[in-house]
Amino acid sequence: MTWFSVSRADFRFTAGQPNRFRSTQKGIRSFCPRCGTQLTFEHEDQDEIDITTCSLEDPERVPPEDHIHTGSKPSWVALSDGLPCHRESRSED
């Protein structure tokens, strides 16, 4: 799944409100209440919110810049776009 991150202060939903689910002790995911599409992930210890790119009306406006958590990708996923890869998060490499 493709995500991008923005600061919490720079994010807002423009229509409706999502359903929220605490998926970990410090993580909350939001979903569309009508179709179930995952929309966001928020970690309590971070000032960013992760947004699923393909949930946007125009996902082409947010092309990927790199790949993170490649250490846990399935073996059949081939990343051949030439973008930088990080085994874990950007800050942990």
- Both 9 and 49 in a single domain? yes
pTM of the model: 0.81
- Both 4 and 44 in a single domain? yes
What is the Rg, in whole angstroms, of the alpha carbon atoms belonging to the chain? 14
What pLDDT is attached to residue 92? 60
* Residue 28: strand pairing partners: 22, 42
Q: pLDDT digits over 16-68, tens only? A: 999 999 999 999 999 999 999 999 999 999 999 999 999 999 999 999 999 98
- Both 47 and 83 in a single domain? no
CB 39 within 8 A of CB 31: yes
Q: CATH number, domain at 48?
A: 2.170.150.70
- Both 46 and 67 in a single domain? no
Domain ranges, residue 46: 1-57
**For the chain, how many structural domains are there in total?**
2
- Both 70 and 35 in a single domain? no
